[in-house]
Structure 1
Amino acid sequence: MKSSISDLTKYYHSIETFKVDQTLFKQRCKRLIKRQPLTPALLKEVATLKPDAYFAKYAGRRTRMNINSEAIDVRDEYDKLESPVVPYPVFRDRLATLARKQRDVPLKTHTGVSHKAGSLSEEHWKYFIGSGRAKPFIYDGTQYPAIKGQQFLSVPSLLMEIGKLDIKSLVLSRLKQGFTIDRAISEEKYTPKDGNGWIYKLSSSECEQEYIGLTTSEPECRFNQHKTSARNGSGLLIHKEIRRYGDKTFFIGIVDSQVPVSELAERERHYIKFLNTLAPNGLNNSAGGQLGGSRGKPIEIDGVSYKSITEAGKSIEKETNGAVRWYSAESRIRNGEEMPERARKHSFHADAGTNLFRRHLGLAKRKQLCHRWLDYDEFKRDVLKEFTMSQIINQKLRLSKINGSKLYGPKNFVWLTSKEAIEARCGKPINAFGQSFRSMTAFAKHYGIPVSTVKYRMRVLCLTPEQAVHIQHIPIELKQNRYDCLSNRHWKN
């Protein structure tokens, strides 16, 4: 229907039933015509609906966006959805996010985006839209010809399209190793076929629930990995409990040993079920059986081919009868370093690996300790007389020398904060009233005067340290002569 003023006027006068005021009718038409064509059915509602009913249907907030180079009415798009799982504000925000991405990055057309914005869960929408550091890419593989040339905002978005979102972590890990997208998706998960492993159990003196796991490395090594994961904030039940009760309350036990690798997964599932350790009765998140990861890159060392760097490291450990551990060999292979003749010597002291032990080891290597303090126990006994180790760590104290020209010793050490240590190392000493201060800041703090005031009085007004802290009123002649002092570079520190 034409929407000229004369046509609208004729239509208005042709209505014989209840109708709104003519001025209000024209105002409604003027607003609606910007959003949609004025059909006869729409014009009838515009002319006959009472204000409350009209406002509820047509006068609500309307948001327009450019999606796929086309201006859309977000409310209309939402109303077209049969059963949206998210409320309208969330739907609107999701489309706004996509519109921003299309402005910032040259994206191709995305079909069905309104349906995805209204039907995907929060987690799946993040996969589709490519949150975080995800970058858009065009699938150019041959494994899935139906989607070849299609653009995706993230790798998980592609996996959702082909129904393989369950292997997301594996595919992302493989892509980081340089796999092509087709190989990362289609290649079977690698599981070692030879060697033996262990089924172990983690228990705690403070917690009645237990955890069953499998490992192909040494059980103690696997236990240490659990402790590290717990410290790093892992969300697994076992790691939450380790953080809650402390790793010292947990201990590891061997349930089954010398299990062929090919049988490890089945044995783990059996013991989890037999010992009833699956949550909520135990600390296992799943029924078990997860073994292996993405296949490593083949590598050749001294003419010998290996399936992966890890396999090469374990082979070197066997060849050296354990003198070089597999993780040390793996690290050196990755960094292109020569293989050591023997492994690094580890201390069996009870404090080995602690903060204080490492500090002592570093000072000893730099030959900064006196003869008495070369013995760690003597060093520990002397430095912990005033502070406990927890206080030192919490206050971030540093061990510093009193006399920088001498070695660390019982009478030549002091615990300082980071700021105090910097002052002791970089500050210029000041002598005043028969006392020595390590810096101007320490001097000003001792007398309760702002350090900027002390610097001004000493450097600009050329006062002595004693005068700088005791003078109450600065004579006029001192202020008048300050420029002469500056010009003559008459600075006193």
Structure 2
Amino acid sequence: MHAAIREYGADQFSVEEIDKGTTKKDLEAKERKWIKKLNTLIPNGYNISTGGVSGGSNKKSTVIGGIRFESAGKAAEYVAETRKISIAAAKRRILKGRIDVKTPAKPGESLVKTRTYKVWSRILHGVLNKKSREYIPEISIYEQWRQFENFYRDVGEPIDPKIAFSRLDKEKGFFPDNCVWMTKSEASKINAEYMKKTGKFKRKSRENA
């Protein structure tokens, strides 16, 4: 989540209280419930586990490379020292089960780094998050595309880094028959025609004058 905030900006995220608990056990159960209900596990969201494990003294023994450590903290110190990385990075690697970067990513884990995932994330913010600077009023998204797996299956990953994902008709939403990968010049032409048609280009020109 911290990496996503750094990449997309804090203004793209909001904090909302969705439930309450009276005990640690109650809170852990509700965390599992909401992660499952909202389907926020990677690659659909930013949760990397099903939840239900809170912080604390963290004294559970951890085995790294055949060596048993009395706590995850000690294991993280060892990984940080031997891999020449920060403690925070070491903890993330231990949590993901990828002590060395050469270890293959788990299925779906690497998808969050793809260009398609970044496009999908911006689209969702643009359609669903009214506080987002990407928000587009009165524009909807194909229901199945709310799940990244479906979006990725339908649009794929672009081979050419110079192409853009765009709507053919800017007055319509994000649907399979209205969205394609195209060159940036083609996308710019569509944007220009839309702004000219709606008068937004003229208003923008006057504002910039």
TM-score, structure 2 normalization: 0.39
TM-score, structure 1 normalization: 0.18
The structure with the larger Rg is: 1
Q: Which has the higher contact order (CA 8 A, sep 6+)?
A: 2
